[in-house]
Amino acid sequence: MNRKVSVAPMMDCTDRHERFFLRLISKNVLLYTEMIVSEAINRGDKKKLLSFNINEKPLALQIGGSSPNLLAEAAKTGEEFGYDEINLNLGCPSKKVQKNKFGACLIKEPNLVADCLNEMQLSTKLPVTVKTRIGYDDVEDYESLFNFINLLKSTGVKTFIIHARKAMLGKFTPKQNLNIPPLKYEMVYKLKEDFKDLEIIINGGVTSTSQIKNHLKKVDGVMIGRSVYHSPYILADIEKEIFDNDEIVSRQTVIEKLIPYVKNEVKKGARLNQIMRHTIGLFHGQTGSNFWKRYLSENMCVRDADLKKIDHIMNKIKVDRVDNSAGQID
């Protein structure tokens, strides 16, 4: 599987509507689901939680949990639903996640994590991967990170996505954990030097194709998160500059292709605002972007948005001369 560039799993962001939208812009990046708790997968509405549009692939399922048996069962279910990869979340620092004993707090329990990974790999033929951080609280030395990865490597896991910040457990909010702990890219680079047989993906603070190119000189892949959600058309630049794909679709074409999907999903019970909220940043940095954001906010991102307005959206783009050309996101 090509993991040169991937889009990070983000709660309340990378749902199936967002992933379909992003895939209209990029055919090569690997997409991830939001984190889904193993217990929810095993005991909840599997179809509602795991169904996706085939056009979203390649697609990885991220699971949260700490029970080897429940995680194994969830991984097996993920394979049955057609996902391409199963990823274990060891990076989320939120208090709610810690309370339920999954996410970044599991870095403290490497042997339990190893048990989880062993059981998950026994239950599925899909690649099982790990997303984690360089450390937690006062534990952020390279030796601890090395030992953690070395133990997990012994389970047979070959791909590690490393957020180059430590997690401050119980001290910061999730938002603060994405900004306050300093980025330490060199630790991730060192991991690749010491584990040449592993696939090391770097994550954290990536906002441009130039950064991606620089990281790819030191590691195997780059995972990007918030920058894609706020400026999704950066994926067009990634397609062209990282994947050498010259068949770049315009912003206008993206919306044209999204409209039939929107109509179909609304007929099936989705709300218009649930889908269109993901497109607010599509014209970021372009002439007319403020109009686009305002029009969506007032007409399509309200709870009772009228589906009929979707038929007029292309006219709004053309009349107000919103720039649809491909270009570097500022």
Residue 330 resides in a domain: no
CATH number assigned to the domain comprising residue 295: 1.20.120.1460
**CA distances for 106 relative to 89, 174, 200, angstroms:** 9, 16, 20
State percent of the chain over pLDDT 70: 95
Do residues 57 and 142 both lie within one domain?
A: yes
* Domain boundary residue, one of 215, 241, 267: 241
pLDDT 10s digits, 305-316 = 888 888 888 777
Catalytic-residue membership of 116: no
Query: Do 224 and 263 fall into the same domain?
Result: no
- Note the pLDDT tens digit of each residue in 154-201: 999 999 999 999 998 877 777 787 777 899 999 999 999 999 999 999
Does residue 326 lie in a domain region? no
Look at residue 324 and tell me if it is in a domain. Answer: no
Model confidence at 276, pLDDT cuts 50, 70, 90, reads: very high
CA nearest to 228, candidates 39, 83, 2, 14? 14
pLDDT in tens, 208-261: 999 999 999 999 999 999 999 999 999 999 999 999 999 999 999 999 999 999
Whole domain around residue 177: which residue ranges?
A: 5-241
Q: Assess whether 111 and 142 both reside in one domain.
A: yes
CATH (domain of 28)? 3.20.20.70
Strands 85-90 and 30-32: unpaired
The pLDDT of residue 309: 82
pLDDT at 320: 52
What's the whole-model pTM score? 0.93
- Catalytic-role residue among 13, 92, 105, 116: 92
Would you say residue 327 lies in a domain?
A: no
In a domain, 246, yes or no: no
* CA 321 to each of CA 61, 278, 296: distance values in angstroms, whole numbers, following the listed order: 39, 21, 16
* Domain-ending residue, one of 222, 241, 260: 241
Q: Let me know whether 42 and 182 are in one domain.
A: yes
Instruction: State whether 29 and 97 are in the same domain.
Output: yes
How far apart, in whole angstroms, are the C-alpha atoms of residue 305 and residue 285?
Answer: 26
Whether residues 178 and 201 fall in one domain: yes
Q: Is the pLDDT of residue 326 over 50?
A: no
Q: Using one digit for the tens of pLDDT, what is the confidence trace for 102-115? A: 899 999 999 999 99
- When pLDDT is cut at 50, 70 and 90, the band that residue 325 belongs to is very low
Q: Are 26 and 239 in contact (CB under 8 A)?
A: yes
> 102 or 21: whose pLDDT is higher?
21
Domain count, the chain: 2
On whether residue 328 sits in a domain, the answer given is no
Q: What's the rounded mean pLDDT across residues 290-299?
A: 90
